Amino acid sequence: QVQLVESGGGLVQAGGSLRLSCAASGSIFSINAMGWYRQTPGKQRELVASITSGGSRNYADSVKGRFTISRDNAKNTVYLQMNSLRPEDTAVYYCNADITRAWSTRTNAYWGQGTQVTVSS
């Protein structure tokens, strides 16, 4: 049993900042890549940022220079620091992690429940 619990979403004014957290818990052996996706009504879920277990980062062009992804491997937690927020950043943000469970050799993708981020103009 593995769960990803997200926190930190909310309402913020344009130009403001928000920090999202996602903590994985359960019978976890290891976590490989982790990332953040976002989705708005009528659109596909898109990758915002990802980070490997070794710390290599990848960002969508739309957030590069404004968002920073990081992780704390000891806490099985990934963060997304969002600065200079824009109304177009408004979306439901989902945490993703590739996890190998304890007693298993299989690696699967797990998703958080989603957290709403709303940026007002």
Dihedral, 91, 95, 98, 100 alpha carbons, nearest 10: -150
- Mean pLDDT over 36-47 rounds to 94
Q: How far apart are CA 29 and CA 75, in angstroms?
A: 13
Q: Are 67 and 48 in contact (CB under 8 A)?
A: yes
Task: Inform me whether the pLDDT recorded for 42 exceeds 90.
Answer: no
Please give the pLDDT value at position 1. 85
Can you read off the two tokens belonging to residue 101?
């469970």
What are 53-63's pLDDT values in tens digits? 999 999 999 99
Mean pLDDT of the chain: 96
* pLDDT tens-digit series, residues 81-98: 999 999 999 999 999 999
For residues 1-8, average pLDDT: 95
Residues 39-43 have a mean pLDDT of 91
